[in-house]
Structures are given as C-alpha cells and as structure tokens.
Amino acid sequence: MSDSLNALIHTLRYEAEDITSIELRPVGGGSFPAFAAGSHIDLHLPNGMVRSYSLVNPSGETQRYVVAVLKDRASRGGSRSVHEQLRVGMQIRISAPRNNFPLHEDATHTVLVAGGIGVTPLLCMALRLKALGRPFEFLYFARSRASAAFRAEIEALGVPVTWHFDAEKGGPPDLQALLAARPAQPGTHYYACGPAVMLDSFEKHCAALGYKNAHIERFTAVEVAAAKDARTTYIVELKRAGREFEVEAGQGLLAALRANGVEPSTSCEEGICGSCETRVLGGIPDHRDSVLSAAEQAANTTMMVCVSGCRSERLVLDL
C-alpha cells in the first residue's frame, strides 16, 4: 500500500467490557498525517487481516492515533487478533487516515447518535465541535453501563447527553421518539454510528421526519443486491495502464483485477471502508457499497471495486 505507515503500539487500555483502546505512535518519533473528525485507519493485524477502525482522539493530534476495538463474538478474526495478539511495544503497519464520514463543522446544531462501539467516530466529532464552540448534543445507547466506552470523556464534554442502557430500561431505545424530539431546523446535522439494525432504523426515521442532513457510518456490510441490469460479463479498460480485459461471469471485478495483476488498495473487501475507491472514467458502475451516498453513486465518478460491478458493456477505470 502506498499510504502505509509504521506504528508503535504505545498503550493498550481497558475502556469497557470487551473494549480495548490502542494508542499508536509513529515509529522513531515524529508525527502522523493530520486527520479530520470521522476518519478511520486500517490496521494490518498480526494474523494477516486488515481491518478499519475509527480514530477516537482529538483531530488536532498528530503525535498519536487512538482507536478502540470491541471483541466481537462473531469475529471472523479481526477483533480477536486485536484483543489477543497485539502487545505494547509491537510495531504494525497502518494506513493513513481516510474519511467517509466527514463532519459539517458549520452546522447550526449537531446531533450525535452512538450505538455501542459506534461511539468512536462520534466522540472524535464531539471533541472537534467542542473545540470549535459549536452547539451539539449526544445520544448514547449501549447494552449496559459496563459495556459503554468513554462515558467519562462524554460526561466531561459538558453538553446534553441522553444515555440509554438496555439492561436498565428493559430493552432498546425508542429511536423514533428520541429523533422526533430533537431540533428540526434545516441547519441541523444528524450523525449515527452503531449496529446495522440501529442505522437502518435511524435512516428510516430521519427520512420520515424530513431530516435531510442525516449521515451514517457502517462497520458491518449491508447485502446490496445486484442491479436488474447488472452485466455478468463486461470489458474493463485500465486507462493509465493502457490495457483491457474481460470480467468473466461469476468472477467479480476485484478478482478480475487481481487475475490481471492489478492489486488495488483494499481492507474490508465488503464495501464499507473506502480503501478501494477508484475513479471511473467511463461506463456505468453497479454500486453495491455502503460508503458512497446515493448522490455520489448516481454521479458515477468513483466506485468501490471490491463489491461493485458494471451495468454497461465497458467500464473505464483510472488505473
């Protein structure tokens, strides 16, 4: 990867039940590239997996990056490797930060909605809004108090916080009612990160309430069906390399690129991290990712080659 950085695992810290934070520092001192609130980095883990995690520390900091990882019982190996194999003093490769979840810093009001470990990018946003003196509030849902990371940091923000712990309330929050009670001025922006079911509900209720500025970040992929007119075979032209090849039926674009000696930068390979974003110079992609907004997908100027396909005979990529 061209944007790969060497990082030292400086601190591992217990943050809540099954949640550990990892503070990374540049190997040999110095600083990391600057990042904006909402950004994430890829960690190249000891088991060979590459996983993306949101940066949680204040966005002005470049002497360190901090991520927090939930040990997921359904882990395919990523979070287990973080919890069981990372040690203080170890060096790992990480990517430079990328941001698929940018903060609108000039919003008249901001509502941050966190579900469980989804708190990480939202805490970074909250710290930024606090530093800018912008008005915002926090809604934080978790299974229990003991499983809610960064409670003290959120309390210390000194802004209105709505806490909801399922174990104390006997079930999940009424998201529709909570959103309906928030300010509905046109300048308000709403951000949510958390489990897929919460994000689906957030999107649905924001749409019903007419909240246009609703933003989400997913950390689990959504199954997006192929478009009705998606092609099973098509020609891929690599403009910069000056060559082309056919994507065969059942092969998939990423596999076809690799079979032809092209290795795009990838991480999740599920359409959620943005690593493989590639400029489209011609043709119509069949977008199946969870990174691009509906408007960005409609523009057809960029695509996630790990999960997306093609709806035209030919796809021209900036590769």
Radius of gyration in angstroms for the set of CA atoms belonging to the chain, rounded to a whole number: 20
Q: How far is the CB of 208 from ligand FES (least distance, A)?
A: 29
Burial, 316: exposed, middle or buried (Cβ in 10 Å; 0-12, 13-18, 19+)? middle
CA distance 100 to 40: 8
- Which CB atom, from 38 or from 274, has the smaller least distance to ligand FES? 274
Q: How far is the CB of 52 from ligand FES (least distance, A)?
A: 7
- Which CB atom, from 82 or from 276, has the smaller least distance to ligand FES? 276
Burial 177-215, CB ≥16 within 10 A → b, else e: ebbeebeeeeebbbbbbbbeebbebbeebbeeeebeebb
- Which CB atom, from 45 or from 112, has the smaller least distance to ligand FES? 45
Cβ-proximal residue to ligand FES, closest one: 306
CB 247 within 8 A of CB 259: no
CB 23 within 8 A of CB 114: no
**Which residues here bind ligand FES, judged by CB under 6 A?**
266-269, 271-276, 289, 291, 304, 306
Q: How far is the CB of 276 from ligand FES (least distance, A)?
A: 3
- Which CB atom, from 182 or from 288, has the smaller least distance to ligand FES? 288
Q: How far is the CB of 190 from ligand FES (least distance, A)?
A: 23
- Which CB atom, from 31 or from 301, has the smaller least distance to ligand FES? 301
Q: How far is the CB of 287 from ligand FES (least distance, A)?
A: 11
Residue 266, Ramachandran bin (φ over 0: left; ψ between -120 and 50: alpha; else beta): beta
